[in-house]
Amino acid sequence: MATTAVWPRIDEECIGPALEQMGEKLDSAAGEVVLDFSSVRRVDQGALEAMEGLARAAAQKAVRVVLCGVDVHVYKVFKLARLTSRFSFRN
């Protein structure tokens, strides 16, 4: 049975390093990981690169990454960067 790991809220000020750390912790997650993006209102190029790396690592480990509380503007940036298909989204 798949389990769900809920990781702490992502801080907008250090999103890149936080996502890189989480990518390294995917070994301990089995099935699904939920990330709280409710405090993130903007993402930069470094954050997009970290998101791409996290998506790649999750795919290799067969872990589903769920982003919750994503701001509509941040979602649009993810969509433009073609990242929305690599994650699941919840309110």
Domain boundaries, the chain: 3-90
5-9, 54-58, 63-67, 73-77, range with the lowest pLDDT? 5-9
Count of other CB atoms within 10 angstroms of residue 74 = 18
- pTM attached to this predicted model: 0.81
- For the domain covering 3-90, report its CATH number: 3.30.750.24
Tell me the HSE value of 80 on the side-chain side, using a 13 A CA sphere. 10
Residues 15-57: tens digit of each pLDDT: 878 887 777 777 776 788 888 899 899 999 988 999 999 999 9
Closest CA to 29 of 64, 78, 77, 79: 64
Which percentage of the chain shows pLDDT scores above 70? 90
* pLDDT at position 3 over 60: no
**Cα–Cα distance measured from residue 2 to residue 19, given in angstroms and rounded to the nearest whole number:** 22
Provide the pLDDT for residue 1.
43
